[in-house]
Amino acid sequence: MTPTQRIVRDARYGRTAAVSALTLLTLVAATGCSQDSPDEKPAKGIVLDLGGEIAVLEEFDSKPEIVGYRPEGTETLDTYRLTSPSQLQSGDIVGIRDGGAVAISPAEPGKATLLAQATAWFPSVDAAKVWTVTEQARAIACPGDEVPTTVRARYTITEHETSGRPARRVLPLPCGVQPVAQTTGGIVAQQTTHDEAVSGTATRARTSVVILDKSGAVGSIVAKNSTVVAALADRIIWRPDDCAGGSCTKVYNTQTKKSQNAPACEAGDSVGTGLLAAGGRWYATTIRTGSGNRLGVLDLEKSTCRDLGIFSALEQTADVDQELGAMWSGSNLFLLDQRTGELVEHNAPTGRVERRRQPLTVTNGAQVWGALKA
């Protein structure tokens, strides 16, 4: 073999090795780029609603680039605001706006695709589609049905692709069954079982946490006299109605079909309504202490709690999706104080916490919608 042939051979081998290495890295990325993938650097292309204007942060500390301007005459309104916004694993951002479920691409956040008229929505178990929820008044939809007086409506759920294509799956539910989420075990719902007298003629609904079968009927009961706090993937977070303490928060696993206490936090007990990350491993929740509310992230696999400290937005509420605009984008948790404009990003697998150097200028209550997917 001549020197020239040896050089060509070595060059080819080098290219082959490089291609093999690249292929291996690609396969690792494809299989390992899940909701639990570590992320050492802050997210890019963060999409926000600043309270009437849509903005994008190219870098975490960048100046906001306005991509959706405030319409004339809406100085005191937020026409872009989403109810129950969430980012799917596909990258699409979904929420309720003006009585309809809309899908938004983080690459073009100024545009929205109307999926269907809806009062609520939740992601499909594969996090690629969405279920929209519509309701019909009890007097019309439940004639003759013997249901508690606290039942106000009958619900129907419809599965959609975020492209806006016509729906193919529609599932009317029995009266008194309100859908909440889809898990690996099926659709999770709250079933109103009976009324309970409170005082005088006032009554309140008593509900059971249930999982529906494919026909929409109640297939199994997770817990009686209880309320769903959050549900996703193979986890259902629930609380018994008669428990006043935060230590009563329970976690049901749809694979083992068992409930256990939520992971304990050294500072206090988890309270309020929290948010589950895609995959169901990480749960962001308020931690109630004797000196005020703190924010914690529970690892439901390892049964641990990471304390992220005090947030002024949690002074008046225990629900992290209210004044503290919280949003999971993969395994990154974004926290936006809707009063001060402070923005924090936490990567759950690594524990990394980033705090924006300069607060954002917000009005009318701001929201984080997610981040651009690579």
pLDDT digits (tens, 9 = 90+) for 271-316: 889 999 999 999 999 998 888 889 999 999 999 999 999 888 888 7
Q: Which two tokens stand for residue 368?
A: 């984080």
Q: How high is the pLDDT of residue 374?
A: 44
Measured CA to CA, the distance from residue 144 to residue 177 in angstroms comes to 16
Q: Are 229 and 260 in contact (CB under 8 A)?
A: no
Instruction: Give exposure, 255-270, as e/b (b: 16+ Cβ within 10 Å).
Output: eeeebeebbebebbbb
Give residue for tokens 């290219």.
Answer: 15
Read off the pTM: 0.86
How far apart (Å, rounded) are the C-alpha atoms in residues 328 and 364? Answer: 22
Where the chain has pLDDT below 70, the residues are 1-39, 244-246, 373-374
| Torsion sign (Cα): 159, 165, 168, 174 | positive
Would you state the pLDDT for residue 38? 57
Could you tell me if 18 and 25 are in contact, meaning their C-beta atoms sit under 8 angstroms apart?
A: no
Query: What DSSP designation does 256 have?
Result: T
- Phi first, then psi, for residue 7 (nearest 5°) are -65, -45
Using left for φ > 0, alpha for ψ between -120 and 50, and beta otherwise, residue 254 falls in alpha
CA torsion sign, 292 to 298 to 304 to 310? Answer: negative
Cα Dmax for the chain: 101
Per-residue model confidence (pLDDT) at position 14: 40
pLDDT of residue 244: 67
* Alpha-carbon gap, residue 285 to 23, rounded angstroms: 39
Q: In what order do the strands lie in the sheet with 202-212?
A: 177-183, 186-199, 202-212, 218-223
